[in-house]
Chains A and B, each alone.
Chain A
Amino acid sequence: MKFLPLLFANLLRRKVRTILTVGSFAVALFLFCLLVTIRAAFNQGVDVAGADRLLVINKVSLIQPLPIAYRDRIQRQPGVKEVTYANWFGGVYQDEKNFFAQFAIDAETYRTLYPEFLVPEDQWKAFLADKQGAVAGKATADRFGWKIGDRIPIQGAIFPGDWQFNLRGIYTGRRPNDDLTQFWFRWDYLTEKAPPWAKNFAGWYTVRIAPGADAVQVARAVDEGFANSAWETRTQSEATFMASFVEQMGNIGFLMAAIGTVVFFTLLLVTGNTMAISVRERTGELAVLKTVGFSDRAVLALVMGESLLLAVLGGALGIGLAKGFTLAGDPTNGMLVSFYLPPWGIMAGASLALAVGLLAGLLPAVSAMRLQVVEALRRL
Chain B
Amino acid sequence: MALPLVYNLESVRARWTSTVVAVLGIAGSVGVFVAMLALAKGFQAALVSAGSEENAMVRRAGATSEMDSAITIEQLDVIEEAGEVQRAAGGAMVSPEVVVVAALPLKKSGTDANVQVRGVTLRALEVHDKVKIVEGRFFTPGLLELVVGKNAKDAYRGVAVGDGVKLGGAVWAVVGSFDAGGSAFDSEIWCDANLLNSTYQRPAGIHQSVTARLSSPGALEGLQRRFAADPRMRVRVERETEYYLKASQMMTTFIRVLGSLVALVMALGAVFAALNTMYSAVAERSREIATIRALGFGAGAVIVSFVIEAMLVAGVGGVIGCLAALPLNGLVTQTMNFQTFSHLSFAFRVTPAVMGMGLLFGLFMGLVGGLPPAIRAARLPVAEALRDL
Contact = CB atoms under 8 A, between A and B. Distances in A.
B175 interface: no
Given A60-B167, A61-B114, A63-B101, A158 B269 contact: no
Contacts of B258: 38, 256, 331-332
A166 B262 CA distance: 39
B41 interface: no
B200 A248 contact: no
Interface string A240-266: 000111011111100110011011001
B200 A60 contact: yes
Given A27-B268, A155-B62, A269-B24, A60 B168 contact: yes
A369 interface: no
Given A96-B64, A157-B68, A31 B262 contact: yes
Contacts of B22: 270
Interface in A230-248: 230, 232, 234, 243-245, 247-248
Interface string B350-371: 0000000000000000000000
Contacts of A256: 258, 262
Interface stretch (A3-11, A18-26, A167-175, A212-220): A18-26
Given A96-B64, A97-B250, A266 B113 contact: no
Given A20-B276, A248-B335, A335-B250, A34 B269 contact: no
25 contacts: A20-B279, A23-B272, A24-B273, A28-B269, A31-B265, A31-B266, A31-B269, A60-B102, A60-B169, A97-B250, A99-B338, A155-B62, A157-B63, A158-B68, A160-B60, A244-B112, A248-B334, A262-B31, A262-B32, A266-B25, A267-B25, A269-B25, A270-B21, A270-B22, A332-B254
A362 interface: no
Interface of A: 16-17, 20-21, 23-24, 27-28, 30-31, 34-35, 38, 59-64, 90, 92, 96-97, 99, 155-158, 160, 230, 232, 234, 243-245, 247-252, 255-256, 259-260, 262-263, 266-267, 269-270, 273-274, 277, 331-333, 335
Of all A-B residue pairs in the complex, the 7 with the closest CB atoms, nearest first, are A27-B269, A270-B273, A157-B68, A266-B28, A158-B68, A61-B101, A157-B64
A31 B265 CA distance: 6
B interface: dominant SS: helix
Interface of B: 17-18, 21-22, 24-25, 28-29, 31-32, 35, 39, 60, 62-65, 67-68, 100-103, 106, 109, 111-114, 167-169, 200-201, 246, 249-250, 253-255, 257-258, 261-262, 265-266, 268-269, 272-273, 275-276, 279-280, 333-336, 338, 341, 343
Nearest to A91: B64
A158 B268 CA distance: 45
B346 to A, nearest CB: 10
A60 B246 CA distance: 28
B64 A92 contact: yes
A332 B253 contact: yes
With a 10 A CB-CB cut-off, give which of A38, A277, A331 has the most chain B CB atoms.
A277
A260 B269 CA distance: 13
Contacts of A232: 169
A187 to B, nearest CB: 18
